[in-house]
């Protein structure tokens, strides 16, 4: 019987109506409200592979918009330039115990400047080396340069995680919840607002509308609705959602804050 009850509980938890929200933590290197960037490198094969790696990672993540280059400048105004400049590429023998080992060494200078040339990050020299072995020198140099480009870009991207916003799922709220889960947030917003207009003491409608407003990027209004729901029915889950909301907003303020000078 205990096992059957446990299974039923797990099934109930699995079917709880909830919606995912992506939350980003501050990046290791803060760029504040910068969103549109262009990537500058030296001409040549090493610059090309670094630019392609940087463009791929920035575009794939979706946090930044990468603007193409037109000649030596961006094709449209940007918030910042991500600069990856080749400093040194050399192969040589390095003493390793009693033998000389052929090594490839690559050094790259990286920084970020605003669209009008103001430094947003300090310049940094990044180096990497690896034993050549049977790998052709140019291939190894490109591989190391690509790794350095990845290292630089990883520091700029705010890491993201998924948080779940759980709806109050009593029977009267099912239509609005379904609309929200289907991505029809405006329709869900109207459904819950109509419920509030009909009965302003419907705590669950205030709570669920708060979730929809947060998903629509209206945090001030969302907080008002969470607080109102708590005032009407001080349920533990309402307080937990408000606490989680405050934490998300604190992280968002850190992510979007201007970089320190």
> What residue segments make up the domains of the chain, in order of their start?
36-158, 166-256
7 has pLDDT over 70:
no
Q: What pLDDT digit, counting tens, does each position of 209-253 carry?
A: 999 999 999 999 999 999 999 999 989 999 999 999 999 999 888
Q: What pLDDT digit, counting tens, does each position of 202-221 carry?
A: 999 999 999 999 999 999 99
pLDDT on residue 6: 40
- CATH C-level class of 166-256: mainly alpha
Buried-state track 29-56, b at ≥16 Cβ within 10 A, e below 16 = bbbbebeebbbbbeeeebbebbbebbbe
C-alpha distances out from residue 80 to 14, 66, 70, 210, Å: 44, 10, 15, 35
Instruction: Give which of 161, 164, 168, 163 is closest to 225, Cα–Cα.
Output: 168
Kindly report the backbone phi and psi dihedral angles of residue 17, in degrees, each rounded to the nearest multiple of 5, phi listed first: -70, 120
Band of pLDDT at residue 259, cut at 50, 70 and 90: low
Band of pLDDT at residue 261, cut at 50, 70 and 90: low
73 has pLDDT over 90:
no
89 has pLDDT over 90:
yes
Q: Which residue has the higher pLDDT, 93 or 50?
A: 50
pLDDT on residue 260: 57
Which of the residue ranges 28-37, 164-173, 198-207 has the most confident prediction, judged by mean pLDDT? 198-207
- CATH C-level class of 36-158: alpha beta
* pLDDT (mean) for 117-129: 96
Report the distance separating Cα 213 and Cα 206, nearest Å. Answer: 10
Q: Which residue has the higher pLDDT, 184 or 7?
A: 184
- Compute the mean pLDDT over every residue in the chain, rounded to the nearest whole number: 90
3-state secondary structure the chain: CHHHHHHHHHHHHHCCCEEEEEEECCCCCCCCCCCEEEEEECCCHHHHHHHHHHHHHHHHHCCCEECCEECCEECCCCCEEEEEEEEEEEEEEEEECCEEEEEEEEEEEEEEEECCCCECCCCEEEEEEEECCCCCHHHHHHHHHHHHHHHHHHHHCCCEEEEEEECCCCHHHHHHHHHHHCCCHHHHHHHHHHHHHHCCCCHHHHHHHHHHHHHCCCHHHHHHHHHHHHHHCCCHHHHHHHHHHHHHHHHHHHHHCCCCC
What global pTM score does this model have?
0.75
Band of pLDDT at residue 4, cut at 50, 70 and 90: very low
The dihedral over CA atoms of 222, 29, 155, 125, expressed in degrees to the nearest 10, equals 170
pLDDT on residue 72: 75
């Amino acid at each position: 019987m205990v096992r059957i009850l446990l299974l039923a509980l797990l099934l109930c938890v699995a079917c709880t109506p909830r919606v995912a929200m992506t939350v980003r933590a501050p990046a290791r290197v803060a760029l504040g409200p910068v969103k549109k960037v262009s990537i500058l490198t030296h001409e040549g094969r090493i610059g090309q592979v670094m630019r392609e790696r940087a463009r791929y990672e920035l575009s794939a993540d979706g946090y930044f918009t990468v603007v193409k280059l037109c000649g030596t400048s961006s094709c449209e105004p940007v918030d910042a330039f991500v600069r990856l400049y080749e400093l040194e590429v050399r192969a040589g023998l390095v003493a390793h115990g009693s033998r000389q080992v052929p090594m490839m060494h690559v050094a790259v200078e990286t920084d970020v400047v605003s669209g009008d040339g103001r430094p947003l990050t300090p310049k940094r020299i990044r180096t990497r080396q690896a034993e050549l072995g049977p790998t052709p020198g140019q291939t190894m140099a490109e591989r190391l340069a690509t790794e350095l480009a990845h290292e630089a870009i990883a520091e700029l991207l705010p890491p993201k995680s998924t948080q779940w916003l759980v709806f109050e799922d009593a029977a009267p709220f099912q239509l609005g919840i379904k609309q929200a889960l289907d991505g029809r947030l405006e329709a869900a917003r109207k459904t819950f607002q109509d419920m509030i207009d009909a009965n302003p003491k419907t705590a669950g409608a205030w709570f669920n509308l708060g979730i929809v407003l947060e998903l629509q990027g209206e945090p001030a209004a969302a907080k008002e609705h969470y607080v109102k729901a708590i005032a009407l029915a001080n349920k533990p889950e309402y307080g937990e959602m408000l606490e989680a909301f405050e934490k998300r907003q604190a992280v968002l303020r850190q992510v979007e804050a201007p970089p320190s000078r």
